[in-house]
Amino acid sequence: MMKSVLLLLCFFIVSSDLFGSNNQDDDKSMAGSEIFDSEKIHEIRINFLQCSAWDSLVNHKEIRDSLNISKYLQGNVEVNGKKFYACGVRIKGESSYDYYPGRKKSLKINFGKYIKKQKLNGLKTINLNNAFKDPTFMREKLYLDFMRSEGLPVPRSTYANVYVNGELFGLYVLVEEINKGFVKRNFGNNSGAFFKGEPKASLLYLGDNQLDYERSYKIKSKDRKDYQELMDFIKTLYGCVKLDQESLKHLDEVFDVYECLKIFAITSLFMNTDALNLLNIHNYYLYKNTFNHQFKWIPHDGNYAFCAFSSKFTMHQAENLSVYFMDSSYENSLMKTVFGIKKYREFYTNYIKELMNEKLTIDHLEHEIDGLAIRLRKHVYQDTMKMYSNSEFEKNLTTHLGDELDPGAFIPGLKTFAKKRVQAVKRELNIKEKNRN
């Protein structure tokens, strides 16, 4: 009898592991859980021994931008009182570096750069984002948190007050690094082909010369032969656009199309314009899961969510943008495939309807915004290096800033934009309001 009970118990343990929740955050033993599962605003102190350390950081950033060589400055880092020695620190970002006034630049900390096994709660690297173009400091977190609540493979995020050599640089959005540790945590393996889509990573088929792909896709795995797997995938996409039957049959085997469609749906609903399915052909990773041999789509960089910046749309156009939008200014074989094939388009449409009916409601978004405002307000006010004033923080929770008729010159108010965006999508897809009585 006891043996039978033990066998039954083992079955439940194994089966719960195999068929358990798709939400990666359920496992409290996961690397980073102490950082990302906490509601506290963390305190990170970075101390450099070098004279003119900031000048060195800026110089390293310029070298990276011009020569594509990553250089870190060595410093000691203290996180919530715990000390880490000889960490690598560098400035990161593009627009958030070039156009953010003052010294509050986005930073990357590599805890294991010089001491190989040194990690922060199991994390080798973290990103500190300066909330460029976001007076509320919420856009990226709201966007990423919602996708994670849908079980999608996106980075976790939280907040930290950051000090550099004793000086408060202010409130940062602390975001998980997408690296081999990330893919191991999300997919259970990390030895597959792994690429970062750099600017101009359009997924267009360029022929069979590997060098033509190396310029736009930065390899993150060790074996450069992995480029052939990426090229084969891109060639399959090209075949789908051409309605090649073998490619159409093969696509589901080599790419997790349906998960990608969920990510694109949320990106469109949140109007994160800095993404391939909207305006910019970068800000994604591709990882080939060695369990099922499918490429997985991994998005990152959400500070432009709620249309914080757009070179193309007025406010009215952004609020009412079709969920099937495709930018005509560049070729996009992936979007032509997922919107051009009936089963994919129907899945995408039905998924959006499901979200709008059950989860992505105006009440839900306003509740999340109000909760974050309470959590952040004191720390935003203490941030003297932030890009916007305290009054702009308060105003932008609800009200638009700037000229709504001039693309790129306005920042939508979160609550107002969310309400109008939800209403516009419901009109487009003919989604009826549910009776709440």
In this predicted model, what pLDDT tens digit does every residue of 326-375 receive, in sequence order?
998 888 999 999 999 999 999 999 999 999 998 999 999 999 999 999 99
- Looking at residue 72, its pLDDT comes to 96
Count other Cβ atoms within 10 Å, centred on residue 39. Answer: 8
Cα angle vertex 140, ends 160, 375, to 5°? 45
Q: Are 336 and 241 in contact (CB under 8 A)?
A: yes
- Residue pair 362/425 in contact (Cβ under 8 Å)? The answer is no
Can you give the pLDDT at residue 26? 53
- Containing 85, the helix (H) or strand (E) segment is strand 82-91
Of 343, 264, 266, 337, which is closest to residue 297 (Cα–Cα)?
264
Residues in the chain: 437
What is the C-alpha separation between 217 and 53, in angstroms, rounded? 32
Q: What is the pLDDT of residue 22?
A: 43
Residue 389, by phi and psi: left (phi above 0), alpha (psi -120 to 50) or beta? beta
- Determine if the pTM surpasses 0.75: yes
According to the model, what pLDDT value does residue 409 have? 96
Say how far apart CA 134 and CA 95 lie, in whole Å. Answer: 13
| pLDDT value at residue 19 | 31
Q: Which residues of the chain carry a pLDDT beneath 70?
A: 1-28, 434-437
According to DSSP, the residues that pair with 127 across neighbouring strands are 108, 175
Question: How far apart, in whole angstroms, are the C-alpha atoms of residue 272 and residue 268?
Answer: 7
* Torsion angle in degrees (nearest 10) through CA of 90, 94, 99, 104: -20
What amino acid occupies position 268? S
Sequence-ordered strand ranges (E) for 93-205: 107-110, 125-129, 157-164, 167-176, 194-197
Task: Report the SS3 class of residue 210.
Answer: coil
CA angle, residues 61, 65, 67, in degrees to nearest 5: 110
Nearest to 231 by CA among 203, 194, 265: 203
Q: Which residues contact 122 (CB under 8 A, 6 or more apart)?
A: 30, 31, 32, 181
Torsion of CA 352, 356, 359, 361, to 10 degrees: 140
Strand partners, 316: none
Instruction: Tell me if 434 sits within 8 A of 422, measured CB to CB.
Output: no
Residue spans of alpha helices (H) in 101-199: 139-149, 180-187
Q: Which residues contact 270 (CB under 8 A, 6 or more apart)?
A: 142, 143, 146, 302, 305, 306
Phi first, then psi, for residue 78 (nearest 5°) are -120, 125
